[in-house]
Chain A
Amino acid sequence: MASHAIEVKNLYKIFGPRGREFVDRVKVGMTKGELNERHGHVLGLQNINISMPAGGVMVVMGLSGSGKSTLIRHINRLIDPTAGEVLYDGVDVCKMNENDLREFRRHKTAMVFQKFALLPHRTIIENTIYGLEIQGIPDSESRKRAQGWIERVGLKGFENHYPNQLSGGMQQRVGLARALTNDADILLMDEAYSALDPLIRVDMQTVLLDLQKELKKTVVFITHDLDEALRLGDKIAILRDGKVIQQGTGQEIVLKPADEYITAFVKEVNRGRVINVETIMKPLSGNPEGIPVVLGTVLEVAARMMTVANQTSAHVVTVDGKPVGSIDLATIISAMVTPISHEPSLQAAE
């Protein structure tokens, strides 16, 4: 079954008993601070409009308190919005009745949590089948399906261990296996890797990317780590104080940060791993020189290929081998280092 896109439209969330009354005032410009000080309500999200690509990885990035975890909980409505819509396959999740919502959660979504949220009294396999169990699927059938995913995430042999006997990285593999066993179109990952060591985190990102290549689910991934966002995201939205301040591909964000806040974020990024060769290539003039580099190759890889081949120039080719542009090492290096224009504002910000 093909996944569908998720459309978040005009979403507002105001925490507090009378949140609904303040939506209009927020719409005409009441700030988060004013709402909190004068009325004791907390503005969680304001005017969120994101279209999350079907079968792609949507990363929502922001620091703590930016509202990213609140946003992801609106997709399976663990949190009710104050105003706005969350559309999946044309249906507004926010208007579902209790039964429809339960069915939606059982069959269309699966979630992975920051602190794993495994059931401590159940073994790994029993945790993995949880989603199928509450759908009422027979035990033997669900165990068979769960076993496959346990092996896919590399936990073969640990089926009868308890979560407490596993390391954090392994527990999150269980969390991932539990979500995948549900076989849902939407995979929600709420800071799924934030509690893991850096090396294990990269490892788990690879697991996700490999799985995604064949599964093509609509993944919503929450993180506070820009490197993670750039590595995983087909599309990235950056949240601050409950507002989307920029959305687009990783390249767009790194090359054209919308404001100083994002500029500060992207200055530490390894640009060589984000920017593609076609972004900086020049139109082909004359004969293609040097080695061929395929479209979509990131600069770091291109530079490595040229260095190994001992060449200072290369030409960019399509997948079929048709040359479309040229590129040289000096251009690559100047694109890989952080532009000077980003620096002074950073020093001012620090």
Chain B
Amino acid sequence: MACSFLPDLLCKFPSIDDTTIRMARKSVDDGFKGLVRAYTNAIDVLVQPLQSFLNFLESVFVNSPWIVILIAMVAIVYYGSRNMRITVGTIVSMVAIGLVGLWNDTMITLAMVTVCTLIAILVGIPIGILMARSERAQSVINPILDVMQTMPSFVYLIPVVMIFGIGKVPGLIAVVIYAVPPMIRLTNLGIRLVDKEVLEAADAFGSSQWQRLKNVQIPLALPTIMAGINQTIMMSLAMVVVASMVGVGGLGRNVLQAINNQFFTVGFLNGFALVAIAIIFDRTSQAYGKRLQKHSEVIHG
């Protein structure tokens, strides 16, 4: 053994002693708790609109007759994709979900994913634009995104729960944290990849910064931004299961119960329901994105 002749200091890593660590940990935890307690009211006020919007959407999804929801979904899917196969697939999978008794849970999950995606888009696109415009913003935001994407979601659930308690809103925040990085990154990338010559032309005709963004950068970055939205939806769907640990209902909670009780069939049924929704969202948004880009496909021979 090397330790027989090496000094102790080089052999066993000299960690800070337990008492100091415990003290530091305790003071950070207590400080954080105190901070949260001090601002409980402010946090509640801040969260309230989010909570009501989420509740409203959920009640709309759950309380409407299933046939209305189904028709609305089919209409959205058809007008988004203009594709019969995707439309028929949507009808078949939604009917199957209803038949196995998961309609209500699916509606709750749909409401959750819809809100999460909207928030991720609203937050992600402006940040992405900011990153594309400023090297400094990019160098600050990029490492934050790296942390958001690699930090295990259970870890940031801890402070989120401490701040917001158990319920839908902390779940929503956890999902958005997980799902927003691709939105930001792909918006940034899309804008940075815009053809320099076209931008130069926009400048040469005297575009203002806003006109340049609105007329050139956003439209030309749109395929990439659409890919970002697609990724965000997929990641929200994946995350609703984890979010069920902090009190989000729907399909995720069923999966969590199935894991705890080893309900093989229930687990898979709910899992497949999630997969079905994911595929519907994915195919529709991709087909829609492609349709937006129709002008670039007809290449002159």
| A106 lies within 8 A of B206 (CB) | yes
| B206 lies within 8 A of A120 (CB) | no
Binary contact readout A106-136 vs B (1 if CB under 8 angstroms, 0 otherwise): 1101110111011111000000001101110
Question: Which of B67-75, B215-223, B272-280 binds A?
Answer: B215-223
Binary contact readout B195-215 vs A (1 if CB under 8 angstroms, 0 otherwise): 101101111111110010001
Q: Does B298 contact A (CB under 8 A)?
A: yes
Q: Does B295 contact A (CB under 8 A)?
A: yes
Report how far A113 CA is from B204 CA in the complex, Å: 10
Categorize the interface residue count of chain B.
20 to 34
Note all chain A residues with C-beta closer than 8 A to B219: 119, 121
Given contacts A105-B203, A113-B197, A164-B300, whether A121 and B208 have CB atoms under 8 Å apart is no
Q: Residue of B at shortest CB range from A123?
A: B295
Q: Does B10 contact A (CB under 8 A)?
A: no
CB distance from B300 to the nearest CB of A (A): 5
Q: Which 8 A-B pairs have the closest CB atoms?
A: A106-B206, A105-B206, A117-B201, A162-B295, A111-B204, A117-B197, A131-B205, A102-B206
Report how far A113 CA is from B197 CA in the complex, Å: 8
B residues contacting A by CB (< 8 A) are 195, 197-198, 200-208, 211, 215-216, 219-220, 222, 295-300
Report how far A120 CA is from B295 CA in the complex, Å: 7
| A134 lies within 8 A of B206 (CB) | yes
Q: For chain A residues 172-218, which have a beta carbon within 8 Å of chain B?
A: 182, 188
Report how far A102 CA is from B209 CA in the complex, Å: 11
Note all chain B residues with C-beta closer than 8 A to A260: none
- Name 11 interchain pairs, CB-CB below 8 A, sorted by A: A107-B206, A111-B205, A115-B197, A117-B198, A117-B201, A118-B198, A134-B211, A162-B298, A164-B300, A165-B298, A188-B204
Given contacts A113-B197, A117-B195, whether A135 and B295 have CB atoms under 8 Å apart is no
| B201 lies within 8 A of A182 (CB) | no
Report how far A120 CA is from B93 CA in the complex, Å: 38
Q: For chain A residues 141-183, which have a beta carbon within 8 Å of chain B?
A: 162, 164-167, 182
Note all chain B residues with C-beta closer than 8 A to A118: 198, 201
Q: Beyond the given A78-B203, A121-B295, A162-B298, please list 5 additional residue pairs across the A-B interface where CB-CB is below 8 A.
A: A109-B204, A117-B195, A117-B200, A131-B206, A134-B205
| A121 lies within 8 A of B220 (CB) | yes
CB distance from A139 to the nearest CB of B (A): 14
Q: Does A76 contact B (CB under 8 A)?
A: yes
CB distance from B273 to the nearest CB of A (A): 37
Note all chain A residues with C-beta closer than 8 A to B197: 113-115, 117
CB distance from B222 to the nearest CB of A (A): 8
Report how far A19 CA is from B202 CA in the complex, Å: 27
Note all chain B residues with C-beta closer than 8 A to A109: 204
Note all chain B residues with C-beta closer than 8 A to A130: 202, 205, 215
Note all chain A residues with C-beta closer than 8 A to B215: 119, 130, 133-134
| B295 lies within 8 A of A164 (CB) | yes
Q: Residue of B at shortest CB range from A126?
A: B215
Q: Does A34 contact B (CB under 8 A)?
A: no
Report how far A109 CA is from B205 CA in the complex, Å: 8
Q: Does A343 contact B (CB under 8 A)?
A: no
Note all chain A residues with C-beta closer than 8 A to B200: 78, 113, 117
- Chain A: residues with Cβ within 8 Å of the partner, total of 31
Given contacts A113-B197, A117-B197, A117-B198, whether A105 and B300 have CB atoms under 8 Å apart is no
CB distance from A160 to the nearest CB of B (A): 11
Report how far A326 CA is from B300 CA in the complex, Å: 54
Report how far A166 CA is from B211 CA in the complex, Å: 26
Q: Residue of B at shortest CB range from A182?
A: B205
Report how far A166 CA is from B298 CA in the complex, Å: 9
| B198 lies within 8 A of A119 (CB) | yes
Note all chain B residues with C-beta closer than 8 A to A121: 219-220, 222, 295-296
Q: Does A225 contact B (CB under 8 A)?
A: no
| A120 lies within 8 A of B207 (CB) | no
Note all chain A residues with C-beta closer than 8 A to B300: 164-167
Report how far A114 CA is from B207 CA in the complex, Å: 20
CB distance from A109 to the nearest CB of B (A): 7
Report how far A167 CA is from B219 CA in the complex, Å: 23
Q: Which of B195, B200, B222 has the most CB of A within 10 A?
A: B200
Note all chain A residues with C-beta closer than 8 A to B207: 134
Q: Residue of A at shortest CB range from B292?
A: A121
Partner of A110, one of B198, B205, B220: B205
Binary contact readout A86-106 vs B (1 if CB under 8 angstroms, 0 otherwise): 000000000000000011111
Note all chain B residues with C-beta closer than 8 A to A113: 197, 200-201
Note all chain B residues with C-beta closer than 8 A to A188: 204
Report how far A103 CA is from B207 CA in the complex, Å: 10
Note all chain A residues with C-beta closer than 8 A to B211: 134
| B216 lies within 8 A of A119 (CB) | yes
Report how far A133 CA is from B205 CA in the complex, Å: 10
Report how far A178 CA is from B216 CA in the complex, Å: 16
| A78 lies within 8 A of B204 (CB) | yes
Report how far A121 CA is from B201 CA in the complex, Å: 15
Q: Residue of A at shortest CB range from B195?
A: A117
Q: Residue of A at shortest CB range from B298?
A: A165
Note all chain A residues with C-beta closer than 8 A to B220: 119-121
Q: Which of B197, B198, B201, B296 has the most CB of A within 10 A?
A: B201
Note all chain B residues with C-beta closer than 8 A to A114: 197
CB distance from B229 to the nearest CB of A (A): 18
Report how far A109 CA is from B215 CA in the complex, Å: 20
Report how far A135 CA is from B297 CA in the complex, Å: 31
Report how far A165 CA is from B295 CA in the complex, Å: 8
Q: Residue of B at shortest CB range from A114?
A: B197
